[in-house]
Chains A and B, each alone.
Chain A
Amino acid sequence: MLAYIGRRALLAIFTVWAISVLSFAIIQLPPGDYVTSYVAQMASMGSVVTDEEAQNLRIQYGLGQPIYVQYLKWMRLIAQGNFGTSMEWRRPVTEVIGDRLWLTVVVSVAALFLTWVLALPIGIYSAVRQYSVGDYVATFVGFIGLAVPNFLLALVLLYLGFVLFNAHIGGLFSVEFQDAPWSAARVWDLLKHLPIPALILGLAGTAQQIRIMRANLLDELRKPYVVTARSKGLPELTVILKYPVRVALNPFASTIGYTLPYIVSGSIIVSIVLGLPTVGPLLLKALIAQDMFLAGTIVLLLGVMTVIGTLVSDILLVWIDPRIRLEDT
């Protein structure tokens, strides 16, 4: 088991490294360097950056040196908690991102949680009552969930909310809590706003999970041990929940790792449509303004968060599934 977790952790470290290289590439790709665009930006705002200042900035970021040296310098700055300065906001990147990163995590975790809470019972129901009306409805809703890109779903819900209830369903906070400091009331306000984005984000995943759960459970239900349990006179609910569901749960659990990157991806686009204060809209604005340090940092942090989440889910999986534990010992 330790060997398995160790291997996973090693892979996670490699992944983080790959993500850091990719984010660095994103920062480097546009023509010109950070300082040229910074100087241009300042000039357009009417303030002048002296050559000396520009030179100092170049030295700070090690621009003009070979790419790998620049990459190492960037890494060293990050290790010190300095992600660079946002050109657009003229403030340190960490300050600009602020709470947004955590709100992204909250929205993604809520979506993941909702996926499970919905998919598990619906999947079990669909398998136990195969070809019933409920099964068909679940399958149909599932296909819609898979087929409709989540940003379109968000758009349609926004429109319906506007037309039918004349309400704005976007956002994560009510107006009075928008810039308020954290308090119990603000957390409660957040919780009240969370279900709609979580549902939009989680629907595609839920659809997929329902199908996986249904297929796994159908396979298990046909096995002789289920018949044995039933013939011993166990109540039907115990028969299903105690044995086949537990077996069917394992392949189901192993999909968390792949669901998380998908949900984080989706949260970026959905946040832009719904106007959620996550890193999504910030990333889009940064990319359009070519504010590359901000954009690169967001991509890096999102990637790292996802990898950590995936690693945690992998470890959880080993914990529930004894077969994986045994395989590698």
Chain B
Amino acid sequence: MAKPEVGLNPTSAPVHGPGAAAATEQRIFVASQWQLMWWRFRKHKVAVASAFVVIGFYLAVLGADFLAYADPNASEAQRSLMPPQRVYWFDGGRFGPYVHAFKGARDPQTFKRVYRADPSEKIPIRFFAEGFEYRFLGLIPMTRHLIGVDGGRDAAKTIFLLGTDVQGRDLWSRLMYGTRISLIIGLVGVTMSLALGVVLGGFSGFYGGSADTLIQRVIEILRSIPTIPLWMGLAAALPRDWSVLQIYFAITIIISLLGWTELARVVRGRFLALREEDFVVSARLVGCSQMRTIFVHMVPSFMSHIIAATTLALPAMIVSETSLSFLGLGLRPPAISWGVLLQQAQNVQTVAISPWLMLPAVPVIIAVMAFNFLGDGLRDAADPYGR
């Protein structure tokens, strides 16, 4: 009996027995490419879990201002470097989360501000509470936030789930806004790299010849240059008087200018592999235009590879932005990104006194891991000859 062309192991399907195996094979024969990918992807438990994590991150991007409960730029010297508050979930046996109020005072010896929890004063945490005004998805004006305290914006007592930074700004809320910017930068950067990579890699692979040689040499040159010193140089050369938005776009462009090579390599490899395939040759012979051959016949068959390669390229973008901003050469305050937040944790003295300033590292690590696992899973699923 002919084995199925695809690498999906028939025994992995939920049905068993010889008859069932035949039925499974039947199912595999008629399944579309995307269906096969989905089945293979589903088996990869870690990748599926990572997909949920990634979706969660992007939901946080959409709803950053809903998840935040304080204005990320509202600073107050009176609550500088407050440690994270402990949340008590049950109040007298009933579910009613609250935190203890913090009393700040200056240590007479070290002149450091110290905070003591005051057990007699409870600040209840309210769900869907009133807070600062924002536009949900940039459109709908809203004042509701996921959590908050009584009294809304003017409340005298507020909460600090993850503590505050030197200027007394709420770390949790800043983290939400930082997540938004860092992940969007990753997405925009990867889109630009993808555009460059697909155009140049496709050109290189489809036409071959001297264009191919030239593009390959450029890629080799770019890959043998240490990127971080170069990024640092370019980022530092941006004019100081540029607005936050201009810097933001310039940084994205700098990161993606050097990041497209891997994607171009993948695309070129696929083009080279497909160029001589029968279906491509016949498409050419029946007189399809070049554009049609490429976009209708070739691109769909390696779309999945591109998606996988893109997912794997995203974490590098995120780390690049974080590194640059961490050094103070990327995004600059008042912009908030993971890197900008981590900048406060740059020296060990600060970190030793207020370790919670290192917390923004946690989402960076989780996001990078999730994207890596998801990309790995997608790549395995997209490879029809994979095991």
Contact = CB atoms under 8 A, between A and B. Distances in A.
A148 B225 contact: no
B184 to A, nearest CB: 19
Contacts of B237: 26, 29-30
A136 to B, nearest CB: 12
Contact of B224 (A26, A155, A272, A310): A310
A11 interface: yes
A22 B254 CA distance: 13
B367 to A, nearest CB: 9
Interface residues of A, number: 52
B335 interface: no
A281 to B, nearest CB: 10
A155 B351 contact: yes
Interface residues of B, number: 40
Contacts of A273: 346
Contacts of B369: 143, 147
A261 interface: yes
A138 interface: no
A306 B226 CA distance: 7
A119 B315 CA distance: 23
Given A147-B369, A155-B351, A288 B224 contact: no
B234 interface: yes
Interface stretch (B70-78, B174-182, B279-287, B323-331): B323-331
Contacts of A26: 230, 233-234, 237
A288 to B, nearest CB: 7
Secondary structure at the B interface, as helix, strand, loop or mixed, is helix
A151 interface: yes
A163 B352 contact: yes
Interface string B300-332: 000000000000000100010011001111000
A279 to B, nearest CB: 8
B323 A303 contact: no
B225 A22 contact: yes
Interface in A191-228: none
Interface string A8-38: 0001101100110011001001110000000
Interface stretch (A57-65, A74-82, A262-270): A262-270
A168 B352 CA distance: 12
A22 B230 contact: yes
Interface string B55-82: 0000000000000000000000000000
B224 A15 contact: yes
A295 to B, nearest CB: 6
Nearest to B371: A147
A290 interface: yes
A287 B230 CA distance: 11
A313 B232 CA distance: 27
Contacts of B228: 265-266, 268-269
B135 interface: no
A247 B368 CA distance: 32
